Chain A
Amino acid sequence: NAGVTQTPKFQVLKTGQSMTLQCAQDMNHNSMYWYRQDPGMGLRLIYYSASEGTTDKGEVPNGYNVSRLNKREFSLRLESAAPSQTSVYFCASSDGRVDIQYFGAGTRLSVL
């Protein structure tokens, strides 16, 4: 049972490059989330998708775009990476907005 799968696990980018972080869940969950985690800070919500076909901004959406491709997949795109986007990114899913969230293993991104 895979749960929430994120790819890649590690990525190094140069300033200005673009990339897409992929996330897929096999639990038939309605809601999916993208977070970033920086040292000394709690998880901060970037974007979320309450259900297939909908996306909403979270606390720190600037510099990111998302796509809820289908019920399983929720991708996060950095169009023009900046050093301030160096972070660990987590994808999560839940059955509903008040339910327990299940997390992927994270993507460690460095922007040089």
Chain B
Amino acid sequence: KNEVEQSPQNLTAQEGEFITINCSYSVGISALHWLQQHPGGGIVSLFMLSSGKKKHGRLIATINIQEKHSSLHITASHPRDSAVYICAVRGNYQLIWGAGTKLIIKP
């Protein structure tokens, strides 16, 4: 079993829909990262959080340390949100990466 599991692996939705991507982990962590990988391959950090909730524009990230679970939400989704969203957790020394969720938003 992978230490970081993301679900779903693939998600296709219509423009305007509310999107939720989940990340569960099995190790103790000091922080959790959400990143976005564009279709061209570039990777951008979205959030780093260790508790509670963070919001940036239409993106919201939450984490529940007790349940070892985080969610990334996108409100009013748009085709430009189409990308792979990656969850990574920081254990003792290094980041442990999820395999990513491929999101496609159709106009």
Contact = CB atoms under 8 A, between A and B. Distances in A.
A74 interface: no
A104 to B, nearest CB: 9
Nearest to A42: B97
Interface string A88-110: 10101000011111110110100
Contact of A41 (B30, B31, B99): B99
Q: Secondary structure at chain B's binding surface: helix, strand, loop or mixed? A: strand
Interface class of chain A by DSSP: loop
Interface size class of A (residues with CB under 8 A): 20 to 34
Given A48-B94, A100-B48, A106 B30 contact: no
B74 interface: no
B33 A100 contact: yes
Contacts of A106: 41-43
Contacts of A45: 94-95
B44 interface: yes
A98 B45 contact: no
B90 A98 contact: yes
Interface of A: 40-45, 48, 58-59, 88, 90, 92, 97-103, 105-106, 108
